[in-house]
Amino acid sequence: MGTDAIFMDYNARPHRARLVRSYLESGTIPQMTWPARSPNLNLIDHGWDMLGRRIAGRSVPPDTLHELQQVLLQEWTLLPQQAINDTIASKPRRCQACISARGYHTRY
């Protein structure tokens, strides 16, 4: 991570854990301030959504953590590159919609 990096979280519950907050408040990592009701514009979450849908659509769901790991790795390699490209290409539109909505949720 470069010296100009800024930690971006969107008030998700795991980011609010006492241990995480304590570490982040130590001042070691610069943080971006997010409004309490801001939408999530983090593209990786759209990737997780695509993976979740693919796994949920399987006829036999994974039974163990190891099976889940294997299925995730397999499905990750099978994600269509065009779906990933489309998600990345949607970022400017999503950001503009967020600006237009003054930080509130949008349909994107």
8 Å CB contact between 30 and 6: yes
Indicate if 53 and 6 belong to the same structural domain.
no
- Please give the tally of structural domains in the chain: 2
Which structural domain, as residue segments, surrounds residue 48? 36-101
Mean pLDDT of successive 10-residue stretches along the chain, which has 108 residues: 69 73 79 67 84 89 89 93 93 85 72
pLDDT of residue 37: 62
pLDDT digits (tens, 9 = 90+) for 68-91: 899 999 999 999 999 999 999 998
Q: Is 11 left (phi over 0), alpha (psi -120 to 50) or beta?
A: left
pLDDT of residue 45: 82
Q: What is the pTM of this model?
A: 0.59
Indicate if 10 and 52 belong to the same structural domain.
no
Residue 5 lies in a domain: yes
pLDDT of residue 80: 94
DSSP type of residue 41: -
